[in-house]
């Protein structure tokens, strides 16, 4: 992400003493071993912002997880680039794994939940920009330059744009165009307001490239469609010189958008699908694009073709070509971190093809060499559940939870296992209660009911309530509530996680 570079200043001993007070520790952090080149700050996040303040630098905050394939893809394709590494030196780079102590608290503060998320912040912790994966690799270093050129917090840019409707500055317009809007959470009113603001900016911002203007339009359509933005996006997709340059942004569109395209008639839908396929085929065949993104482009074409087909099946010729490219890609040798992103994209293709046997065999084979095999176990459980094999599915969900590592991850995987029990074995209340007690126990510690874990706890609360309404296992619900209450008693009543804790099954 972005931040402001060094300001010219006279050197003096007082400033040196301040700077030395916040210098990072010199010991190596194992979490950084898989991202060489970038000078990751070795202290905690709070110390990083203090250091940034003293050094007059912005903060580049990477939020990820060891098990997350898109995270590994970002590390291997973007963080390893020489131009990106060179530009990162103008920031205080912070590597924050979601399982690090206090990581979820920082996630809550910066409103990040999905992995990976890259946020550029000023030293005063105000957000400048978010950056997503999937773009043309040459753009990432350029985005850091954009961030360095204008440090107005994004919230102020949006507020000014919404309040008076005036066109933002050129730098702000570029940040709006490249910001990863899908990595933030908005209420429905916020989404609709922001969609209107971005649509207006697409028409009022000056000196933007056609691709940047198109990104604003696509972002607006992804946040809240209007007939006008649907028409504009259709035109973007059908422009052979423009669509390939914004393909990553196009992948943020959802099923509701495609239904709007279909509602315009078979001729419009057919022309749109042909243009989309042409664009994604070009990406899938481009050797300059990383293999995981090439497979992802194929997957999006399959998903769209299936949605547009009368029988909702992928045409045989398209399916055969997809299978051939998956097989050829998987046959190559890759670093385990690179392979994780490829397997993730291949899994998406198999899912679109309805080829659960191929997907199952691929994922099961990955268990022997994957750095985080428990990640694939959830997918294996999901496949067995869809096949109607309840006990086999539960065995995978349970194993995934038992073998998962890290405080936030173990709670997340535990919620998945417990949720599967509620679906597949709802009358096995003793097993549900005992599993629930263990999963709640994963939250026993400071700063754990924040960000992803807070959201997971809220979902679990709703699922348990629905289960009990149907089956009336009140004693088990009381036991789970008591277990959580015991944890709540250890939390400061002034903290945000205390409130979430007290609401659980209350």
Please name every residue paired with 96 in a beta bridge, in sequence order, or none if there are none.
Answer: 63
Within-domain flag for 247:
no
What range does the domain containing 121 cover? 1-151
The tokens of 217 are what?
């339009």
Assess if residue 164 is contained within a domain: no
Q: Are residues 391 and 335 in the same domain?
A: no
Q: Which helix (H) or strand (E) holds 109?
A: helix 103-109
* pLDDT tens-digit readout, 332-353: 999 888 899 999 999 999 999 9
Contact of 45 with 130, CB cutoff 8 Å: no
pLDDT in tens, 217-235: 999 999 998 889 999 999 9
Question: Is 262 within 8 Å of 316 (Cβ atoms)?
Answer: no
Whichever domain contains 49, its CATH number is 3.40.30.10
CATH number of the domain residue 490 falls in: 1.25.40
**Is 241 inside any structural domain?**
no
* Overall pTM surpassing 0.75 (yes/no): yes
Q: Give the highest mean pLDDT range of 4-13, 109-118, 435-444.
A: 435-444
Question: Which of these three, 318, 336, 370, is where a domain ends?
Answer: 370
231 occurs within a structural domain: no
Residues 330 and 430 in one domain: no
Same domain, 282 and 428: no
* Token reading at 240: 């052979």
| Same domain for 290 and 406 | no
Residue ranges of E strands in 181-294: none
pLDDT digits (tens, 9 = 90+) for 35-54: 778 999 988 999 999 999 99
Q: Which residues contact 176 (CB under 8 A, 6 or more apart)?
A: 157, 168, 198, 201, 205, 216, 219
Domain assignment present for 269: yes
- Is the same domain home to 301 and 381? no
Residue 2's pLDDT band, with cuts at 50, 70 and 90, is very low
| Domain end position, chosen among 351, 370, 389 | 370
Shared domain for 7 and 51, answered yes or no, is yes
Mind giving me the DSSP string for 451-481?
HHHHHHHHHHHHHHHHHHHHH--HHHHHHHH
| Domain total of the chain | 3
Determine the Cα–Cα distance for residues 278 and 310; give it in Å rounded to an integer. 21
Q: Are residues 403 and 357 in the same domain?
A: no
Domain boundary among 98, 127, 151: 151
């Amino acid at each position: 992400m972005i931040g402001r570079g060094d300001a010219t200043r006279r050197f003096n001993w007082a400033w040196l003493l301040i700077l030395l007070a916040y210098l990072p520790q010199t010991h190596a952090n194992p979490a950084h071993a898989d991202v060489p080149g970038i000078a990751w700050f070795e202290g905690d996040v709070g110390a990083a912002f203090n250091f940034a303040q003293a050094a007059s630098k912005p903060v580049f905050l990477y939020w990820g997880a060891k098990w997350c394939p898109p995270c590994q893809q970002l590390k291997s394709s973007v963080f390893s680039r020489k131009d990106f590494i060179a530009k990162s030196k103008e920031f205080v780079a912070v590597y924050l794994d979601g399982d690090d102590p206090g990581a979820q608290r920082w996630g809550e503060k910066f409103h990040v939940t999905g992995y990976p998320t890259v946020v550029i912040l000023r030293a005063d912790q105000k957000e400048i920009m978010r950056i997503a994966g999937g773009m043309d690799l040459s753009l990432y270093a350029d985005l850091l330059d954009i961030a360095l050129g204008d440090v107005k917090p994004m919230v102020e840019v949006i507020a000014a744009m919404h309040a008076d409707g005036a066109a933002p500055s050129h730098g702000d317009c570029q940040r709006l165009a490249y910001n990863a809007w899908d990595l933030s959470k908005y209420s429905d009113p916020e989404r609709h307001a922001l969609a209107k603001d971005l649509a207006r900016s697409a028409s009022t911002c000056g000196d933007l490239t056609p691709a940047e203007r198109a990104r604003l339009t696509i972002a607006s359509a992804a946040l809240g469609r209007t007939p006008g933005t649907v028409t504009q996006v259709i035109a973007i997709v059908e422009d052979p010189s423009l669509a390939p340059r914004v393909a990553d942004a196009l992948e943020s569109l959802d099923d509701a958008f495609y239904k709007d395209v279909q509602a315009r008639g078979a001729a419009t839908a057919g022309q749109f699908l042909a243009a989309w396929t042409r664009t994604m085929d070009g990406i899938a065949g481009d050797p300059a694009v990383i293999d995981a993104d090439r497979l992802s482009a194929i997957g999006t074409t399959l998903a769209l073709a299936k949605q547009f087909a009368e029988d909702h099946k992928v045409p045989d010729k398209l399916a055969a070509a997809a299978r051939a490219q998956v097989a050829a890609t998987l046959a190559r040798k890759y670093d385990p971190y690179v392979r994780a992103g490829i397997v993730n994209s291949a899994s998406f293709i198999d899912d679109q093809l309805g080829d659960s046997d191929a997907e199952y065999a691929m994922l099961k084979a990955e268990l022997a060499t994957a750095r985080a095999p428990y990640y694939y176990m959830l997918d294996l459980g999901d496949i067995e559940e869809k096949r109607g094999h309840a006990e086999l599915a539960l065995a995978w969900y349970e194993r995934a939870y038992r073998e998962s590592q890290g405080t936030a991850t173990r709670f997340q995987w535990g919620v998945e296992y417990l949720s599967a029990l509620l679906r597949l074995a709802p009358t096995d209340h003793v097993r549900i209660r005992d599993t629930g007690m263990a999963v709640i126990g994963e939250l026993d510690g400071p700063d754990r009911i924040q960000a992803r874990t807070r959201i997971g706890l809220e979902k679990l609360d709703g699922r348990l309530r629905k289960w009990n309404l149907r089956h009336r296992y009140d004693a088990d619900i009381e036991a789970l509530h008591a277990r959580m209450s015991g944890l709540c008693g250890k939390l400061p009543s002034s903290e945000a996680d205390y409130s979430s804790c007290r609401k659980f099954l209350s």
